[in-house]
Structure formats: C-alpha cells, structure tokens
Chain A
Amino acid sequence: MSLGKNIPHDSARGHVTGESVFVDDRPRHQGELLVLPIGVPAAAGKLKSIDVASALKVDGIRGFCSAKHLAHNRWGSIVEDQPILVEEDIGYFSEPAVLLVGQTHEALSRAAKLVRFQIEEAQANLDIEQAIEKGDFLYTANPFVTGNAEAALAAAAHKLSGVFECGGQDHFYLESQASIAYPLEEGQIEVHSSSQHPSETQRVVAEALGLNHHQVVCVVKRMGGAFGGKESQAAPFAAMAALVAKVFQEPARVVLSEDDDMMMTGKRHPFKNFYEVGFDEEGRILGLKARLYADGGAYLDLSPSILDRALFHIDGAYYLENAHIEGFVCRTNRPSNTAFRGFGGPQGLMTIESICEDIAVFLGKDALEVRRLNCYGVEERNRTHYGQIIAHNTLPDLFKSLEDKCHYRRRRDEINEFNKSSIGKVRGLSVTATKFGIAFTSRFLNQGNALVNIHLDGSVQVSTGATEMGQGVNTKIRQIVAHAFGIEPAMVNVMATSTEKNANTSPTAASSGSDINGAAALMACEKILDRLCWLYQNILAGTPINDNQECPPFDVKSLRRADFNFRGGQIVHVPSEKEMGWQELVQLAYRNRLSLNDYAHYKTEGLAFDKSKSKGKAFAYFTTGVAASEVELDEWTGQVKVLRTDILMDLGRPINPGIDEGQVTGAFVQGMGWVTTESLKTGERGQLLTHSPTTYKIPNVQDVPREFNVELIPSDTNTQNIARSKAVGEPPFLLSASVWTAVKDALRYRHPGKVLTLRSPATPEEVLMVHLSTK
C-alpha cells in the first residue's frame, strides 16, 4: 500500500551526498569538446559578419560553428520562427550567433572576448506600450466572452478602471541549460539534455542536423530545476551540442553559465492588463472588460498558450457573469518569453485579485468579504467565463475554513490596532485563492505512454515520458506502480527518460507529469496484472503447469480479475484467500511465456473546448487553494517582510503528501520572489543588466514567511485523475498573490479610501514611491 505514503524522494539521498548525476556531472570523454555560444551585442538589426580569426588563435580553441553549418535553422514549439543561430536578422540582445569550440572553459572565456561582430544596429523595441502603439502583435487571442459586459458595466452602481502591471521572472534553476551530444555510428546522435521535453529536443536536434528522428535519441536523467524554462528552450542548446558533435565527430558539451543563461533565454511574460469593472453596493462584480497584453519577446515560442491561460484564469476564484476579455502577445526585442510555473495563469489571476482589493477600498469593506461574495458557488454561480462548470467546488469551504484557521478576524483587529500606534511600520493582511485548470489547453498534448518491465526477481523498471526536475514525479510513479503490484516501493525503479523507450511524449509541464504518466504506467501495470491473474486463476483451477504443459493462452473473457488483488508482496485470490508470492508468480509467468513487460498509452478523457468560440470544458479538473499572508512594510524604506502565511489546499488524495507539501511551499516562495524582489532590468540597447544573483534577487531562506502553515484538506471527489490525486506543481504558485495584495492592504491603512496603482513586483522602491507619491 504505497499510495498516500511519505516515502522519500527517489533522489533525496543522492542530492545530499552528491551522487546524483546531472548533465555536467557526466564524465568527460577523451577528446570531448566544450561549446560556448556567443550572443550578438545588439537587440535589433542585421548581422553582417562574424570575425573569429583572433579567437581561433587562442590556445585550446578547436574551431567554431555558425548558422551555415546547420541543415535547418528554425525551431519553435508552435510555429518554427526562431533561428538556432542568428543568420542575419537579430531578434534580441545576446541571441546566440556563433559557437566557439574548445578544450577548456578558460580558453573559451579568453577567446570569447576576441569575437567581433559587424552589425547594422536598428532601434530595439523594448516595451509593451510601443508594441501596442504599433499594433505589433505576435498573436491575438480569440476573446473570451460571456453575458454582456458592456451592458452590465453601464448598469452597474459603481465602476473602476485601471491597469495591472507585472514584471517577468527568471527561472533561476540551479542547473543552467545543459546538453551533451555523442556522435554514434552512421551519423546517429545521442543527446543527454536537461530538458522537460525530450521528444521535442529529439525532433529539433534531428531537424537541425538534417537527420530523421530515428537517428536521434534524447535522454534525460534529471534536471536541476526547470520550472518551464526547459520546456521549449532546452532544445536549441541541445541542437548546438549536436551540431558540434556532428561537425567535429567528438562528444560536445554545452553548459551555459548562469549569466549567459539569463541573458540568452526567455522568462516569465511581463503583462500589462487594462480593465474596467462594474460592481454593486455590496461589492459583487457585475461586469468585467479586460485587455491583456503580454510581452512575448522576439519570437512566438509558447506565448499563445500562455496568453490563453491568462485569459482562462482572469476569473481567479470568482464568478464572472458578464465578461469580455481580450488578449495580445506583443513583439519586443527580448529573448522569447516562455513557460514558467503558472504559464500565464498568475498574470491573469493577479489582475482580479488586485481588483477585489480595490473594490474593497472603494466601498470601505474588508477585501475578504468582497472575495467571499464573489467566490464561485457549489450549485449555482459555478460556471466559468468559458462555460466550464466547476465540479466539486471546494473554494467556498476553503475560504471559510482558512478564515477560521488563521484567525483572520482577530488578527485583523490586532493589525488595526498596531497600525494606529506604530511609527514607520505598517501591516497588511490579505487572502487570495487559486483555481488552476488542469490539462494542457492544446488538446493533443494530453497524452502519455509508459513502459513497465518486470524482471525475474520481481523487481520492476518503469519508463515514461515524464522528466524528473526535482518535483518528485519519479517517486509518485514508483508509488503508483508499487501499489498496483502490491510490492515495496524499493522494488520499483523509475528509469531515465529516453525517446527510444517513450516516443511522441508531451513535455513534463502543465502540472500534469504525474497525472498523465502515472496513469499510463498504471495502465501498463494493469495489462501485466491481467496476465498474472490469468496464470494464478489457472493454477488454482488445477491446470497442470510443468515442463510439458503451459498455461492456456490469455483469454480476457474467462478472466475473473476482480477475484484477485495484490498486496504485501503476494497475489491474493480473495474468495479462497489463497496466496502466492510475487517473485514466484513472476517466475512462473516467465516459464509459461507470459509477457512480464508492457506498454500503455493514456489520454485525458472528457476534454471538449471549442477554441473558435472560447467555450467548453478546457480542463479535466481544477486544483484549488487559498492563502492568507500578513506583511509588514517599513514606511521609511519600502521594504516588505512577510510575517505569516497560512495555506489551505485541496490536493485530492495526495500520492505523496510530503512531496506535495514541498511543492506548495516551494511554489509559494518562488511566487513571493516574483511579486516582491525579482526585478529584471534592461539597458537602453536591450541588454539584460540583471543577469546574475548579484543584481537579480530571488527570495532566500530569511524571506520565507516567519510563520508558515500549510495544510491539505481531506478530499476524495476527484475521480478525474489517477488515484483521486490532484496536480500540484503550478497551482500554489498563484497563492503568492496574497503577499502582493497584503502589501496593497498595508498601504490602504495609510491612504484610506484611495485606490492605489501598485505594480508587481512590490520592490522597496515601488512601495516607497507609491507611498510617497500619494501622501
């Protein structure tokens, strides 16, 4: 019985001892080459020539590769619009244009300084406003329309209009983009990549080199963090390694420095959202009109799906009877912004959470009251603005329960008192929610496959398309398989992800890794279990099984599957209570030539979203939760301290509650960084200036809320998903909005009745300047 148990993460020990192997830990082969991509020193214009002559003279440099060496120089998950290496048109500052190839890092660093580019620089477009003005959009979403927003606004007792603006965010994975390519015989390539999407990495590598897909294998053992940054953007770096491997016929390694990684890869999309909201005397939202503008960067990447998800999540946890939501992806001269935990959801949700806070200020009410008033209902007011009914809605209960558990009322009174007498410090408290739709909004991605091999000692190897990035998908799959076979989790190993075992897989993304791949693994287990039950059924029926006679061929019609179960390392025939040991059964199956291996394909059922109308069932289910955060602002410096956060989530029946709690706390703190200190700054020419931890500030251990309570509610209604669990990777990220709204709440005490425009992140500077400007 492994489901629901807190077994340790399968790499917990290895990560601590250093035994875990990441791409750059792989031993270097003799002759292996290091590859350093060099980016262009301009954000826009034309690249005329690259002079590597002096660079090549540096000791230890073996050569270079450029766009000319590539068979196919375009990639992209949705549209192939992005070059792997710049040919002529420059999309963004530091866009890779040439690969230096050498034997040591030092040689490459010295040579890098000697590469000269001849560029006709053009004016770079670096902001959303400019793109809006020019109408320079990479993608325009099909609007989400429900009811009649125009009429509702006209009729509403009160109206507010405003802008919500949020910044980007660097993924800041500890392991940068990394790939090693090994040239094999007959032009084949094996590439080990830190990639969330081995199938796409395989495809991009093959196409870049002019190979068929079957000539390339992509292997992913694990990633040292990814967060979406390695969903699409791992592929071009793998292609660079593969190109050098092909040209030089030696293994080739690309491991970006943190600085290069930050400068060369896309981030979370900054958004600028304009809205108009109408509401009644009590604060009930009657109509919402919004236009969402995302900074897509230079190329399309995954921006359309990310923008769509922002449109899907602009409702937050609140019922919108009348809404008209539009969305645009702006083209700018920045690296293509890309997937990042939440995938546009946070940028949509923050808008409505900000609106809730403002309505409360405007009406002089407590913001939690406004939220509870607008919260989706269980039986009514439970249809989203895209027409999906929220089944088994736990949001009203979560709000109520958290209000009690965190002593919201008492603490509100205490904060009121504190703020009255305090000098230089002001506190705020706010509750926000998450209702994250689970499924890829591109329907075809909601599929996965798994391979399960039982060996003769009864131990099991499982391979799926899921990639392990620290989130614990391997551990969960291990538990699912061990549970199915009724054996100890230690008897199951989840193997490195490889495209030769699992092909045509989806990225490990959209929080769906365990859902999809766990379900596929279980299906493969079930197929084997059927045969094992068949065998035992025949043994119990007295069919002689010996060297002369074999178990009759498997016949599903005669199988009484329900009579058997697997637990404690035994197969049990329930009616007779007869048992046989797992290992013995496995060996008998082998001797009877019954396959101990199987493969299964899974697809998420019941999705029915009509993109042309923006209506229908887009998601299999929702993961919900609420958070209450209390902050203290230093009124003299604008610095924000998170004093306490309480989180309550509905994660169904967690497969591994410990791992899920880790995901909740990790996502929340990562989100806190996005809404407080993580600030990306770009120079006038479009170069990223905050490209290292010296200037780019993720939260550290001292920033974790002083008091941090996480609780999961008992919930077993999610029949939509494997073992009634719920996806967890992204949903809690959105709860970090509570820190930002708590900052707004704190400012409210010093500016009563005034609707303030606060941008995210609420850096000390942003907070102080808003505080001072409205005094």
Chain B
Amino acid sequence: MGAPGFAVRGDEMTERFRYLESQPIEIDLAEKKLLIPTSIEEAVRLKHDQPLLRIVSGATDLGVLHNKGKQFLDEALVLNRIPMLSEVQRRRDGLWIGSMVDLSRVEAEVRTEVPELGRLLRIFASPQIKHQGTLVGNILNGSPIGDTIPGLMVLEAKLCLVSASGERWVNLVEFYKGYKQMDIRPEEICTGILVPKLAQEWAVRFFKVSLRKDLDISAVTFAGMFRIDGSRISEARLALGGVGPTVVRLLEVEKQLVGQEFTEASFATAGETAIAKISPISDLRASADYRRAVTKNLFTKCYHEIQNEVQA
C-alpha cells in the first residue's frame, strides 16, 4: 500500500477500513488501558478476568465526569465493535434493543410500537446526546431519575445479562435494589433489553417534569398504563421516578385502581395513595413538597389526557 489517501482507490480504502473495523483493539499503556473486543464471547472473557473493567458506551455521563477530572476513565472496555449489540429486532415476543443502540435510533424505532416512549425521548436530550447515549446506558446508570426507566418498567421490559456462566434475564421491575444498586454482577454484560409486545389496547402516558421542559434532568418521572373496559379500569401499571432512591413500580396503587370507575376521583385517590408510599427528598432539582404535589397532580393530569384521547 502506498501513501495513505493518494495511492489507494476509494473502494480499496473502504474495504481496508472495513477490515480494520472488524479487528479487536487493545491499547495497554502503563497507566491507561483500552479494550475493544469484536465478539461477545471475547467481551465476556475480558469482563470475567477483569470484573472491575468499566464498560463505556456513549460516555454521555462518564465522559463528563472524566472531563471534569472527577472520575478518570483510566481503564475502559468498549463494545461498539460487536455488531449484534447494535441490533434492533422485532421478535415474536417483543422489541429487542441491543445495548449499543443509541437513543436517537430508539426514538425512531419505537414510534409505532410505543409512541409514548418516542414522545418522551423527543424532550429527553439534544440530538447530539441522543446520537451518543444508549438506552441500556440510561438503564444501567441506575439513576432514580433515569428518564426511560419508569416507562420501560410499566412495559415490563427485561434485561439480558451474559457472563462466562451463561445468560440470564432480569425483569426491570426487580432490577433496582437501592440507590445506584442493581442486580448485575461485576462480570456480567448487558446485551440488550426486550420490550414485550402489548397484547391489547392500552392507554399509555409517560410524563417527565423538569425545571426546563426540554433537555433537562427530571425532578419527577411518571409512567402509567391502563386498560379500560367500558367505564372501568381493568388493568393498571404505574411507576414513578425521582421520588425515592430508585424508580418504583406502584403495585399497591395499581391494585387499588383495578376495578374502579375510570374517573378523575379514582385517579385523585390513587394519587393520594401514591404520595403516602413515596419518600422524595429535597435536592437541587426540586423540594420534597413539590415532588409530592406534582406526583399527586400527575395522576389527575394522566386521567384528563387519557380522557381527551378517548373522546378524540
């Protein structure tokens, strides 16, 4: 091969880039290490041997911490050369989103299946961030205000975790154990998330309440899914973020709603029950009082929006 760029023909160069792209990378300096495997087996082996190795995907959070000198990414495992992790598949049991799929793509892909998730992602972040950040990254960051989590929780999404000892599935509802504590072992890698197909018609509402409407981290997030038979609520799923150390599914409130008339009063009562069960804190984004007031109101807002939809 001659001097780069000049002696090589375009297609030859493309081919060469393709080849290079398919090759694993390992840069091991005295104080810094970067590992980019090309197969999941290799990635699993690396994680098995070095469980503390940090997986970096979009780096929308870790990159900021690094740039600010708060947490240096001296060792990183990057999975962007494993093609299967960037796949979106429409499976019989639902929509599979690989762990390297960025949020822009998710936003585009879910438009038909879960339009409400697409709507939420529209105000989630700027296009630049959404091109970079991944859905699974948002989930594994474990933040109690992870914007996508309540919605995925009520959709009963499941994560696929693999390690040298095999594969296991975890329901997102059971995934969060405490503040930033998750049911994933150091040697495990999340390969993606499965969002189950909805069998029937559900009314779905996801809300994100933040100081600034767009591109802001939420104070409170709300996800509600309901099936309404005639005038009664036959099924309900509810989750809240920003009101405790983790995103929570409100199973008791759900139970209380089922069988109730689909009225503002039922939702208002549910809101009252919900705020009795949460323990929000006051922080930079909002006071505990505001979080409680908003949580309660979101139940009413949810009712009215669904009501309008039904009427329309």
Contact = CB atoms under 8 A, between A and B. Distances in A.
Interface of A: 105-106, 108-110, 112, 257, 259, 423-424, 634-639, 641, 677, 679, 681, 689-690, 692, 694-695, 697, 699-700, 702-703, 763-765, 768-769, 772
Given A109-B69, A635-B297, 13 more contacts: A109-B68, A424-B300, A424-B301, A636-B294, A636-B297, A637-B298, A639-B209, A641-B213, A694-B217, A695-B284, A702-B123, A702-B214, A765-B287
B136 to A, nearest CB: 21
B212 A424 contact: no
Nearest to A765: B290
B216 interface: yes
B241 to A, nearest CB: 14
A273 to B, nearest CB: 24
B56 to A, nearest CB: 17
Contacts of A423: 304
B294 A700 contact: no
Contact of B69 (A105, A677, A700): A105
B285 interface: yes
B213 A702 contact: yes
Contacts of A109: 68-69
Nearest to A763: B211
A108 B69 CA distance: 9
B69 A703 contact: no
A637 B297 contact: yes
A606 B293 CA distance: 57
B286 interface: yes
A637 B209 CA distance: 7
Given A259-B68, A637-B298, A697 B284 contact: no
Contact of B293 (A112, A700, A768): A768
A interface secondary structure, majority: loop
Contacts of B85: none
Contacts of A702: 123, 213-215
A695 B294 contact: no
A760 to B, nearest CB: 14
Contacts of B212: 677, 697, 699-700, 703
Q: Indicate the member of B207, B219, B301 with the most A CB atoms within 10 Å.
A: B301
A764 B123 CA distance: 16
Contact of B294 (A108, A259, A637, A690): A637
B214 A703 contact: yes
A768 B290 contact: yes
B289 interface: yes
Q: Indicate the member of A259, A692, A764, A769 with the most B CB atoms within 10 Å.
A: A764
Contacts of A636: 294, 297-298, 300-301
B209 A764 contact: yes
B292 to A, nearest CB: 11
Interface in B170-217: 207, 209-217
Interface in B250-281: none
Given A424-B304, A636-B300, A681 B284 contact: yes
A257 B68 contact: yes
Interface in B68-120: 68-69, 72
Contacts of B301: 424, 634, 636-637
Contacts of A697: 211-212, 216
A172 B114 CA distance: 37
A742 to B, nearest CB: 16
Contacts of B207: 637
Interface size bracket, B side: 20 to 34
A44 to B, nearest CB: 22
Contacts of A769: 289-290, 293
23 contacts: A106-B69, A109-B68, A636-B298, A637-B207, A637-B209, A637-B294, A637-B298, A637-B301, A639-B209, A641-B213, A677-B211, A679-B211, A681-B284, A692-B68, A694-B64, A699-B212, A700-B126, A702-B123, A702-B213, A703-B214, A765-B211, A768-B294, A772-B293
Contacts of B215: 700, 702
Contacts of A700: 126, 212, 214-215
Nearest to B286: A765
Contacts of A768: 290, 293-294, 297
Which 6 A-B pairs rank lowest in CB-CB distance, beginning with the nearest?
A109-B69, A636-B297, A702-B214, A636-B301, A697-B212, A765-B290
Contacts of A689: 284
A203 B283 CA distance: 43
A700 B211 CA distance: 12
A775 B209 CA distance: 22
Given A697-B216, A768-B294, A112 B211 contact: no
Contacts of B304: 423-424
A681 B286 CA distance: 11
Nearest to A699: B212
A697 B287 CA distance: 16
Q: Indicate the member of A110, A637, A641, A703 with the most B CB atoms within 10 Å.
A: A637
Nearest to A676: B212
Contacts of B68: 109, 257, 259, 692
A528 to B, nearest CB: 49
Contacts of A690: 284
Contacts of A677: 211-212
Nearest to A112: B69
A695 B214 contact: no
B308 to A, nearest CB: 9
Contacts of B123: 702
A635 B285 CA distance: 19
A635 to B, nearest CB: 8
A689 to B, nearest CB: 5
Interface string B22-61: 0000000000000000000000000000000000000000
Nearest to B69: A109
A105 B209 CA distance: 37
B288 to A, nearest CB: 11
Nearest to A697: B212
Contact of A695 (B126, B285, B287, B297): B285
Nearest to B264: A423
A689 B285 CA distance: 11
A138 to B, nearest CB: 28
Nearest to A36: B69
B231 to A, nearest CB: 19
A635 B298 CA distance: 10
Contacts of A641: 213
A482 B289 CA distance: 61
Contacts of A634: 301
A703 B284 contact: no
A638 B214 CA distance: 15
B307 to A, nearest CB: 9
B166 to A, nearest CB: 38
A677 B68 CA distance: 24
Q: Indicate the member of B68, B123, B207, B298 with the most A CB atoms within 10 Å.
A: B68
Given A677-B211, A697-B211, A106 B72 contact: yes
Contacts of A105: 69
A110 B69 contact: yes
A110 B66 CA distance: 11
A638 B217 CA distance: 16
A767 to B, nearest CB: 10
Q: Indicate the member of A689, A692, A768 with the most B CB atoms within 10 Å.
A: A768
A562 B297 CA distance: 74
B160 to A, nearest CB: 30
Nearest to B300: A636
A108 B72 CA distance: 13
A689 B284 CA distance: 7
A49 to B, nearest CB: 24
A110 B293 CA distance: 43
B23 to A, nearest CB: 29
Q: Indicate the member of B72, B126, B284 with the most A CB atoms within 10 Å.
A: B284
A41 B141 CA distance: 29
Contacts of B213: 639, 641, 702-703
Interface in B202-251: 207, 209-217, 219
Nearest to A637: B209
